[in-house]
Structure 1
Amino acid sequence: MLKKFSRYLILGLGLYALIAALVITFYKDDPQAMIWQDREAFNKRYIEKLTLKKQTTLNSVLDYLGSPDLTYAKREGEQVLQIIFYRTQHIASDGITTIDECTGLLFKNGQLILWGPNAYKKYQENN
């Protein structure tokens, strides 16, 4: 009896571990379905991992993080500058997402060139 119970227990734990590993490996988080606190943390973790060594495109960011909270774009000759903002910190419970609650990502012709507090300043300088 104890031997049979042990087999079922080991089989159940193994099956649980397999299912958990599959979910962790293949399940993609959907930022649009998250509550705002989880989405802020998700956005912040992703943005903290960005580097300029890896060519990050606007489309790859949009695919991973979903629609930005705020976005601005302008054309200067052949160059297109676009800054998108994702909420990464809560400041006021007023139902409105403002720039000071977000982290900006600046793209030039679809390639990430700068992010963080200086991104919006750089975008404004190019007026």
Structure 2
Amino acid sequence: MKSLLAMTLLVPLALSASACVVVVDGDKSSENSRSQSDWERQESRNRQALNELHTQQPMAEVIERMGNPDFDEQLRIGERSYRVLYYRTQRVESDGMTTKDECTPIVFERGELYGWGENQLKVLLSSSN
């Protein structure tokens, strides 16, 4: 009887003494806003850097200014070879992924800046037809 009484008193006491907090979901909105804010800053920096580019600028200088590209492609049109670097400049979908439609292409020919932007790339590609 004494042990039953002791258990009856000790179990609630033990349970009340434990202070364990479990967070299941957390505050994802602040996490998303931090990463969204990072994207916005990066996009803004990339747009600003694009405004400072000029044609015939060496590719190494552009990469130094812009940083590592999100995508990098090599194109061959006829006898000419082009390198296209893509930098994120606008968000299309808030999914945590960077896609080419969220980037501005920068086109190089023979290691020099040929031009940038979707229209420049379209003109270049259409001239191959």
Fold in common (TM above 0.5): yes
Shift of 1:123: 4.2
Q: TM-score, normalised by structure 2?
A: 0.61
Distance 2:109 2:68 in 1: 18
Unaligned runs of 5+ in 1: 1-33
* 1:95 matched residue in structure 2: 96
Within-5 A mapping of 1:1-127: 35-52=38-55, 55-76=56-77, 79-125=80-126, 126=128
Q: Which runs of 4+ in 1 moved over 6 A?
A: none
Answer whether contact 1:81 1:123 (CA < 8 A) is retained: no
Unaligned runs of 5+ in 2: 1-36
Identity of aligned residues (%): 36
Shift of 1:78: 5.6
Distance 2:50 2:74 in 1: 20
Distance 1:122 1:73 in 2: 16
Letter in 2 for 1:40: E
Structure number, greater radius of gyration: 2
Answer whether contact 2:54 2:113 (CA < 8 A) is retained: no
